[in-house]
Amino acid sequence: MCAFGIINAAGIANIGRYVDVASAVITFGGSFFAVLASKSLSDYLAGLKSFLLVFKASSTDTKEMIQKIIDLSNIARKEGLLSLEEAASNLDDDFMKKGVLLIVDGTDPELVRGIMETELVSTEDRHKSKIAFWEDLGSMGPAWGMIGTLVGLVNMLYEMDNPSTIGPSMAVALITTLYGSLLANWICAPVAGKLKSNNASEIMLKEIMIEGLLSIQAGENPRVIEEKLKSFMAPGDRMLDDGGDENG
Amino acid sequence: MCAFGIINAAGIANIGRYVDVASAVITFGGSFFAVLASKSLSDYLAGLKSFLLVFKASSTDTKEMIQKIIDLSNIARKEGLLSLEEAASNLDDDFMKKGVLLIVDGTDPELVRGIMETELVSTEDRHKSKIAFWEDLGSMGPAWGMIGTLVGLVNMLYEMDNPSTIGPSMAVALITTLYGSLLANWICAPVAGKLKSNNASEIMLKEIMIEGLLSIQAGENPRVIEEKLKSFMAPGDRMLDDGGDENG
Amino acid sequence: MCAFGIINAAGIANIGRYVDVASAVITFGGSFFAVLASKSLSDYLAGLKSFLLVFKASSTDTKEMIQKIIDLSNIARKEGLLSLEEAASNLDDDFMKKGVLLIVDGTDPELVRGIMETELVSTEDRHKSKIAFWEDLGSMGPAWGMIGTLVGLVNMLYEMDNPSTIGPSMAVALITTLYGSLLANWICAPVAGKLKSNNASEIMLKEIMIEGLLSIQAGENPRVIEEKLKSFMAPGDRMLDDGGDENG
Amino acid sequence: MCAFGIINAAGIANIGRYVDVASAVITFGGSFFAVLASKSLSDYLAGLKSFLLVFKASSTDTKEMIQKIIDLSNIARKEGLLSLEEAASNLDDDFMKKGVLLIVDGTDPELVRGIMETELVSTEDRHKSKIAFWEDLGSMGPAWGMIGTLVGLVNMLYEMDNPSTIGPSMAVALITTLYGSLLANWICAPVAGKLKSNNASEIMLKEIMIEGLLSIQAGENPRVIEEKLKSFMAPGDRMLDDGGDENG
Amino acid sequence: MCAFGIINAAGIANIGRYVDVASAVITFGGSFFAVLASKSLSDYLAGLKSFLLVFKASSTDTKEMIQKIIDLSNIARKEGLLSLEEAASNLDDDFMKKGVLLIVDGTDPELVRGIMETELVSTEDRHKSKIAFWEDLGSMGPAWGMIGTLVGLVNMLYEMDNPSTIGPSMAVALITTLYGSLLANWICAPVAGKLKSNNASEIMLKEIMIEGLLSIQAGENPRVIEEKLKSFMAPGDRMLDDGGDENG
């Protein structure tokens, strides 16, 4: 949409005015190089690859997960904690499965919480390092754009004898700033934002799982567990859940 | 008021100078698109819809709520905790009602606090995600305004042969920066500010409710509860309350 | 002083060059309106009124307060906690008086601390909301100054036919930026700074009171209380205090 | 060095071009006035005076202090806690001396920690208020520099009839921005940085003292105390210490 | 790469246009001097020297360390805690070795944790002070670049009689801004980023060691320890580990 707006404003015939290889090399080269130099290679590649996560639909359905935990708590109540082993094999989520197996093994509740929370924290750390990649790249874009513009301006200022070239020279100098802004605001800000928002919902889901698993281990009443876990949800979503799923 | 000032400064006849469709497409299109790309669709729509909350008068009257809690504590003292069930049906606030019902059910105080605080925290998280929508949009506005201005400037710099068009071309280039600033400071900053201020008073009210309900459950003296809850209020407001409501 | 410098730099005869009604309407109107839209009316008015607090001399004398607490602890030691009721009537500070009365009533120490700290926190919240008013206004000033300048520049760029009017038109356009900077740095920054500094000393005084009252309630030795409370003060101030007041 | 660079770049003969009284009055007057208005007079004077602390060599030798604490712990082990009273009279550091006397008085360990930590926190608060003075001044410098430049520009724009005066007028307008940047980056940033760095090492030293004194009071083994306190130091420094001082 | 881009954009023949000794003296001299003035000499030198750490390959292999801890826990289980003394002599890592020796000495677990965490915190403090060196230098670069540009501009504005020198003079003035941006974005940002990333992985490794050592001391089951420590790793890395190392 905004690409259309830019083209519209510039005129389709003038699109070539916005393409300049040397400017792209300074701005993108400088930005990516500076971020590469500031990370270990594996973090850098993980950061780059996380771009694809933006297009992956987030599969976290809070309501469904709460329902699963309540089902598990009903099984545990009726048939004992050991019967969860079988139920665990039907779970898609590795984090949830690990927690259930720890419970089945009879691990101490404090230790279950410790292991699960360490995993949650280190998952969040890995997410944050990917978010930081895009934020760092986004702050490097305008910086290297300005460096390119300064390089172009200095050159232009030495060649002011021919007034007719001043305009185009300055235009070329400004293109790096434009590239830098686009890198920051068209690519990096949305990607970092999306990764942050995905992280937030994944972490909340994992917190619900930890809370639910520990309640199951403590042998709490399924109704109380439901009440507890629904506090994580918006009141509106909760209502719907009551209507459809509670008899499950 | 400021719209009047802007018009005044520009002259009513010149208002057309400030309208440019391509500029609007770049600035608003770019900003809204970048925010859309950085959120899940449901968060994006919730963020947009939260604009309307700005006009909703905040219904949170701290004094009234404290009075209600004291009334409830008197009922609980005289007729027992179970008698609160009837009183709960007269409560407008869902959060308060839920708390009272938990107490009536004889839920463990630690669990009551846990459930209520989880609900409070996730309410605040939802508010914060709406506030973040407007803050993100507010930071995108000037960024895309500058991108639009750079696009316009590059174009202008290639067409400097005719001096009489330089002025108007540059004016058009600057309009995106103006649009971006207005988006950030006329729309986003006030909306984000209002949502933050509404959030703060709602959270404080909910904290008062939690504190009050736990005191009722613990069977504390209504006078002590009043003293406790009034500490949340400004001394001036407290005085008025003493005069009018205390005999209630 | 700086007003003198500005006048000096501009020449007294040219003072009229810096006065422009439309510019003032955009900058001040826009800033105040944007802050008004982002607060509830009562917060807005409280924020505006807090301007007067800047001129109120801070009445908090830490040394005097510590002396009063030590006097109270001596009374409590010799004549019992109940005898503090009479002493409380001579106290100017409402916060201190409330604390003493809670102690006299035989309130549980944990509850005394809870009530006093809730009051301290909500006092600080109220102060912070006033500080935020001036900080928000201070960030709106330059933003609306720039909006005004953009409005003026766009207008000017359409009227570049007559070179002799370009200078004055641009001067007028720049005046909004000047107004915005003055609003932020001449008014808002000092007011917010002063409110912050007043808040810090009031909060420290209230913390000393809480610490002192709880020590009195616990029946601690007046010498130990003195030692404890003097830790809040700078070593230099402490010395003077030892010389003059300790025999009181 | 950089002064030399500036002079070099400008040419020694042109040094007068960078001196302008009205500019200095706006920039320095405005900055110091705005900071004065935002602080109490005593804080302001303490802030100004803290400039001299930059030249005071920091006397904090961590290694020496750890050695002293180990010596004290040996004395306490052999001759009892009361024998520390004599040793205390040889200590230069008031904070350390106060701690030793509290121990000799038989004060409760919790109370010793409370008093020492309150003192540590309020020392840090006083340091921070001085650091804030220079940071505030550093942010005011460029702000008032820009105000001065705007004042100069507006004036210049009204007097563009004579092209030969435009250059020098604009040069004078820019001087306030230069003054503001120099105030911020030549004076304020280094002073604030130095005060911060001094604060950090003083606070670490005081933390070592508190840890050490409480260990002495608890009658811990001098070897364990040494191990504990050396954890605060860099491994390299520790080694040297082991070689030379441990037999002391 | 970006150096190539800059050269490309400017033309190889014009490289001399970007070299100016006075500009370098102002920008680099001012920046390094300002940072020197804000640190103690030893911190300054340590900061400078930390530049070399960027090229040192980080030797922290999480998987290998977890394997070592599990090996140690097996030894401790079979042959008792005292047998770890011999194993400790084969450890490369001083932090790990120190921890093992503390355990062998029979130190109280609380004290082991205390000493190890103090060491971890002060290691992180030392790292942070080096990171702060490069961040401070990075913020000083653009500031002194702007000071240099202002100095050059003021000079140029007094010498506008000869239009042919305006361009080159302004070019020279802009070079300091270019130098400052390069210092910040080519040198300081990557170095600070790399030091931060090294710090994060070193601290995580040390946390794993502390957790592991305390589990060994508590005599926990090697399988549980493995489960615990693997929670620190990404699920993908964990799998590989299971395949290859677990039988070790």
| pLDDT tens figures, E85-138 | 888 888 888 899 999 999 998 889 999 999 999 999 999 999 999 999 999 999
pLDDT at E245 exceeding the cut of 70: no
| Residue C204 amino acid letter | M
Residue owning tokens 């420094």: D237
Average pLDDT along chain B: 87
Task: With beta carbons less than 8 A apart as the criterion, state whether D205 and D233 touch.
Answer: no
pLDDT at B247 exceeding the cut of 50: no
CB-based touch E/B (3+ pairs, under 8 A): no
Per run of 10 residues, the mean pLDDT along chain C (length 248 residues) is: 52 78 93 92 92 77 90 91 86 90 91 94 94 96 96 89 85 94 95 93 93 92 90 75 40
Chains with at least 3 CB pairs less than 8 angstroms from chain A: B, E
Query: Which residues in chain D have Cβ-Cβ distances shorter than 8 Å to C186?
Result: 30, 34
* Residue % of chain D over a pLDDT of 90: 58
d(CA E155, CA E150): 9
Count the neighbouring beta carbons within 10 Å of the beta carbon of residue E36: 20
Query: Which residues in chain E have Cβ-Cβ distances shorter than 8 Å to D174?
Result: 150, 153-154, 157
Q: How far does D92 lie from chain E, in Å, by closest CA?
A: 22
d(CA C229, CA C243): 16
In chain E, what's the furthest Cα-to-Cα distance? Answer: 91
Q: How far does E115 lie from chain A, in Å, by closest CA?
A: 22
Which among A38, A118, A143 is the nearest to E232, CB-wise?
A118
- Is residue B49 domain-resident? yes
CA nearest D163: which of E173, C14, E150, C164? Answer: C164
Which among B177, B190, B197 is the nearest to C40, CB-wise?
B197
- Is residue A209 domain-resident? yes
Selected residue with higher pLDDT from B226 and E242: B226
Chain D to chain E Cβ contacts (< 8 Å): 134
Q: Do C147 and B181 touch (CB under 8 A)?
A: yes
Q: Over the stretch A106-148, which tens digit does the pLDDT of each residue have?
A: 889 999 999 999 999 999 999 999 999 999 999 999 999 999 9
- Is residue B244 domain-resident? no
d(CA A182, CA B140): 11
d(CA B144, CA B26): 7
- Is residue C35 domain-resident? yes
- Is residue E131 domain-resident? yes
From residue A194, alpha-carbon distances to A65, A180, B29, D168 in Å are 22, 20, 18, 51
For chain C, the domain total comes to 1
- Is residue A150 domain-resident? yes
Chains with at least 3 CB pairs less than 8 angstroms from chain E: A, D
Which among C37, C111, C114 is the nearest to B190, CB-wise?
C37
Question: Best residue in D45, D97, D128, D157 to probe C by mutation, most C CBs within 10 Å?
Answer: D157
Specify the DSSP class assigned to residue B207.
H
Q: Indicate the pTM of the whole model.
A: 0.90
Count the neighbouring beta carbons within 10 Å of the beta carbon of residue B26: 32
Q: Over the stretch B15-52, which tens digit does the pLDDT of each residue have?
A: 888 999 989 999 999 999 999 999 988 899 999 999 99
Question: Best residue in E2, E165, E181 to probe A by mutation, most A CBs within 10 Å?
Answer: E2
Tell me the pLDDT band of E241, cut-offs 50, 70 and 90. very low
Q: Do E4 and A25 touch (CB under 8 A)?
A: yes
Residue owning tokens 């500036």: D6
Which among D170, D181, D204 is the nearest to E143, CB-wise?
D181
Q: Do E34 and D9 touch (CB under 8 A)?
A: no
Residue D105: strand, helix, or coil: coil
- The chain A residue lying nearest E191, using CA atoms, is A38
Question: Best residue in B27, B231, B233, B239 to probe C by mutation, most C CBs within 10 Å?
Answer: B231
- The chain B residue lying nearest A173, using CA atoms, is B154
From residue D196, alpha-carbon distances to D54, D199, E120 in Å are 10, 5, 22
Query: Which residues in chain C have Cβ-Cβ distances shorter than 8 Å to D140?
Result: 185, 189
pLDDT at A7 exceeding the cut of 90: no
CB-based touch C/A (3+ pairs, under 8 A): no
Q: Do D37 and C54 touch (CB under 8 A)?
A: yes
Which runs of consecutive H residues, i.e. helices, occur in A159-188?
A: 163-182
d(CA A64, CA D86): 72
List the structure tokens of A64.
Answer: 């469904």
Tell me the pLDDT band of B126, cut-offs 50, 70 and 90. very high
Q: Do A191 and B38 touch (CB under 8 A)?
A: yes
Question: Best residue in C43, C49, C147 to probe B by mutation, most B CBs within 10 Å?
Answer: C147
Helix, strand, coil share of chain C (percent; to 5): 85, 0, 15
Q: Do E29 and D181 touch (CB under 8 A)?
A: no
pLDDT at B113 exceeding the cut of 90: yes
Section A17-41 average pLDDT: 92
pLDDT value for D26: 93
Domain extent for C73: 20-237
Q: Do E197 and A40 touch (CB under 8 A)?
A: yes
Selected residue with higher pLDDT from B169 and A8: B169
E137 contact partners, CB below 8 Å, separation of at least 6: E31, E32, E35, E183, E187, E188
- The chain D residue lying nearest E101, using CA atoms, is D227
- The chain D residue lying nearest E150, using CA atoms, is D178
- The chain C residue lying nearest B55, using CA atoms, is C37
d(CA E34, CA E147): 13
Chains with at least 3 CB pairs less than 8 angstroms from chain D: C, E
Q: Do B37 and A4 touch (CB under 8 A)?
A: no
Task: With beta carbons less than 8 A apart as the criterion, state whether C189 and D38 touch.
Answer: yes
- The chain D residue lying nearest E162, using CA atoms, is D164
Residue owning tokens 């109704």: A223
Q: Do E171 and A160 touch (CB under 8 A)?
A: no
pLDDT at E223 exceeding the cut of 70: yes
Which among D34, D35, D147 is the nearest to C178, CB-wise?
D147
Query: Which residues in chain B have Cβ-Cβ distances shorter than 8 Å to A182?
Result: 147
Q: Over the stretch E25-34, which tens digit does the pLDDT of each residue have?
A: 999 999 999 9
* Residue % of chain E over a pLDDT of 90: 58
d(CA D178, CA E153): 10
Which among D54, D168, D178 is the nearest to E158, CB-wise?
D168
Section B1-20 average pLDDT: 65
* Residue % of chain E over a pLDDT of 70: 89
Question: Best residue in C112, C154, C155 to probe B by mutation, most B CBs within 10 Å?
Answer: C154
Section D63-76 average pLDDT: 91
Q: Over the stretch D217-244, which tens digit does the pLDDT of each residue have?
A: 998 889 889 989 999 988 877 754 444 4
pLDDT at D141 exceeding the cut of 70: yes
pLDDT value for A246: 38
Tell me the pLDDT band of D54, cut-offs 50, 70 and 90. confident
Residue owning tokens 């802004």: A181
Q: Do C9 and D29 touch (CB under 8 A)?
A: no
